[in-house]
Amino acid sequence: MNAIETKGLVKKFGDFAAVAGINLEIKEGELFGLLGPNGAGKTTTISMLSTILKPSSGSASVWGKDLLHDKDSVRKSIGIVFQDPSLDDELTGRENLDFHGRMYAMEPGLIHERIAEVLKLVELESKADALVKTYSGGMKRRLEIARGLMHKPKILFLDEPTIGLDPQTRRNLWEYIRNFNKKDGITIILTTHYMEEADFLCDRIAIIDHGKIIALDTPEKLKEVLGGDIITVESTDSNALKKLLEGQVFVKETKLFDEHLNVSVDNGGKALPKLIELAQKNKITVDSAVLKRPSLEDVFIHYTGRTIREEEASDKDKARMQVKVGGFRR
């Protein structure tokens, strides 16, 4: 069975299509990623699949239930961790979980049992009775994931699970996410604009831009499309260099983005000196040349001609993390 199927899913805000016709088949047990820049339509897609937003058109089924006609069943089969923090800082971890259990009309005995289980899963037992405002960023995110798992969902949506976290905490969280998927068999759909995150965690990735899927495959296959190595060249005259390289047998493809030129080649080690020599002969200054294996960032550039601009995005993340989204403040 497919955990999720969508056909021509569209969400319009006025005339603007935030999600412009998405077709997906996500398998049971998959760890699936939606990767794309700010404003690509990731959250909007997840909001539709979790019944928070009504699609403008198209259809979808979640764990075999129709999204439009069987909302209650869909809700029971999913858990969600929102992009913006939504814990109550003035409550303890245990109280936040208890509140969630009541919202889902779980039996008090079961709530008690599940709180112990999910706290163990995210290793927060010792912090259970501390106020959430005393938690670190990583602990808060783990508690939000624990909350998403309270009612034993089949599918867990994680919207930017490691947003605003430092690299070490991020890696630590990756281990939890992977375990929920591989050990506990929970189907996970996550969104991210961090390339390494999608690459490391996901079985398959849909790259999404302007509300459309522009590529969908395993991380390995996506990178294979580029073939070989990539030399990224910085030059004051990258246009002239591009023209010059286009005619060379050792060059497979050239792509300009921002001030940089990406050159795809079979053998980077051999091609790099040739490239520099050729530039010198033609009096084109090369300021820097970096050789690397293709990354998902290069895949994104390949399809869109743009970078995902992680730095810009992470500034936005930091600003977001500072905004308190209190939920239900007393």
Ligand X SMILES: Nc1ncnc2c1ncn2[C@@H]1O[C@H](COP(=O)(O)OP(=O)(O)OP(=O)(O)O)[C@@H](O)[C@H]1O
Which residue ranges make up the site for ligand X (CB under 6 A)? Answer: 13, 18, 36, 38-44, 83, 193
8 binds, among Mg ion, ligand X, none (CB under 5 to 8 A by kind): none
d(CA 181, CA 213): 24
Instruction: Note whether 91 and 132 are within 8 A (CB).
Output: yes
Residues 44-103 that bind Mg ion (CB under 5 A): 83
Instruction: Note whether 251 and 265 are within 8 A (CB).
Output: yes
Q: Which stretch binds Mg ion (CB under 5 A): 14-22, 41-49, 64-72, 238-246?
A: 41-49
18 binds, among Mg ion, ligand X, none (CB under 5 to 8 A by kind): ligand X
Q: CB atoms < 10 A from the CB of 93, how many?
A: 28
Instruction: Note whether 10 and 68 are within 8 A (CB).
Output: no
94 binds, among Mg ion, ligand X, none (CB under 5 to 8 A by kind): none
Instruction: Note whether 316 and 39 are within 8 A (CB).
Output: no
Query: Which H, E and C letters describe 146-168, residue by residue?
Result: HHHHCCCCCEEEEECCCCCCCHH
Cβ-based nearer residue to Mg ion, 6 or 45: 45
Q: Which two tokens stand for residue 251?
A: 């060059």
CA angle in degrees (0–180, nearest 5) for 146-150-155: 85
13 binds, among Mg ion, ligand X, none (CB under 5 to 8 A by kind): ligand X
The CB-of-189 to ligand X minimum distance in angstroms stands at 13
Name the β-bridge partners of 251.
265
Cβ-based nearer residue to ligand X, 212 or 274: 212
Cβ-based nearer residue to ligand X, 15 or 220: 15
Cβ-based nearer residue to ligand X, 248 or 307: 307
Binding mask of the shown chain, residues 254 to 273, with x at each position contacting Mg ion by CB under 5 A: --------------------
Cβ-based nearer residue to ligand X, 96 or 192: 192
106 binds, among ligand X, Mg ion, none (CB under 5 to 8 A by kind): none
Q: Does 43 bind Mg ion (CB under 5 A)?
A: yes
d(CA 143, CA 293): 36
Q: Are strands 31-35 and 187-192 parallel, antiparallel or unpaired?
A: parallel
The CB-of-160 to Mg ion minimum distance in angstroms stands at 6
Site for Mg ion, rule CB under 5 A: 42-43, 83
